[in-house]
Amino acid sequence: MTAPLVETRNLKKYFKTSRGLLHAVEDVNLQILPGKTLGVVGESGCGKSTLGRTILRLQEATDGEILYNGENIRKYRGKDMRKIHLNMQMVFQDPYSSLDPRMSVHDLIAEPVAVCGLMRNKVEIKEHVHEIMEMCGLPANHSNLYPHELDGGLRQRVGLARAMAVSPKFIVCDEPVSALDVSIQAQILNLLMDLQEQRGLCYMFITHDLCVVKHISNEIMVMYMGQTIEYAPTAELFAHPAHPYTKALLAAVPTIDLSKRNQEHFTLKGEVTSPINPAPGCRFAPRCPYACDKCKEPCQLHEIAPGHLVSCKLFEK
Ligand code: SF4
């Protein structure tokens, strides 16, 4: 069996606030195999971006393990962590705010190569930048342009080129297409999939858009208020969604398929509970039409079909 490239075990990230501890990520266990994509879905504020940043150690985890190639990288510091960071990169949602407006396309792509000390010779760096630009579909004559001279799609290509410049194996894509027009979204998704095929890349693809995640992911993890509430292969999740929250998310996707008109669906109502000092029971209970007394007790993930896990009292025996 292929070993996962990236794995987390009981990963937690809490933030101290004046009102108590904010549980942003709670006991998340995930595995991503080499060359595969895990889609992470949920509403804004569910902790998916915090999870991505914590895995990359852009912020320190509160507890749990982050494994890269089987090694817990939480023990690494300084130079050792910088070496790991060459393999683990991030592409951000808003390419405009994540790119320095005073740097040209060439300098933006050359910067991580020079900072990581991968190349020192200017001619070598220039050739490398041109190769990466070509790989990411950036015309060579754009190398002297600045971010404000590019459209959203080209800017996101520059963001991706910066990540690709250090030849990573794993990329956290944090809502990389949500700020783009639909036609440009498809181009960026196709580019990501082409790069994955050519380079065997492994992605964690964070999004609130189920249509996008269906297109690109091998497996999907649904998050609600910092917790994994459902985890399944993509086809299985779309064919047999189990958790009431996942069903509500899928029901919210617009469709013109009249055969789905009579399918069970409901709209989310009720208050979202506070992630600060949350009660031990199901965090979705205030919005769930099936909530009962049992839901006041903690839920665990249960396997209901091969590789399909769900955290809900309806599935506990
Ligand atoms: Fe609804 Fe209870 Fe399941 Fe939570 S555990 S999703 S409240 S039925």
What is the per-residue pLDDT across 6-45, written as a single tens digit (0 to 9) for each? 999 999 999 999 999 999 999 999 999 999 999 999 988 8
- 224, 266, 271, 299, best to mutate for ligand 1 pocket (most atoms within 8 Å of CB): 299
Whether residue 288 has its Cβ less than 6 Å from ligand 1: yes
Percentage above 70 pLDDT, the chain: 96
| Higher pLDDT pick, 47 / 98 | 47
**Residue 2 clears pLDDT 90, i.e. is over it:** no
Whether residue 90 has its Cβ less than 6 Å from ligand 1: no
Q: What is the pLDDT of residue 262?
A: 55
Enumerate long-range contacts of 308-311, CB under 8 Å, 24 or more apart: 308/230, 308/231, 308/232, 308/233, 308/236, 308/237, 308/240, 308/242, 309/228, 309/230, 309/231, 309/232, 310/229, 310/230, 310/231, 310/242, 310/243, 311/227, 311/228, 311/229, 311/230, 311/243, 311/282
Residue 224 pLDDT class (50, 70, 90 cuts):
very high
Measured by CA distance, the residue closest to atom 3 of ligand 1 is: 312
Dist. CA 138 → ligand 1 center (Å): 48
Q: What is the pLDDT of residue 1?
A: 78
**Residue 264 clears pLDDT 60, i.e. is over it:** no
Whether residue 224 has its Cβ less than 6 Å from ligand 1: no
Q: What is the pLDDT of residue 44?
A: 87
Dist. CA 8 → ligand 1 center (Å): 25
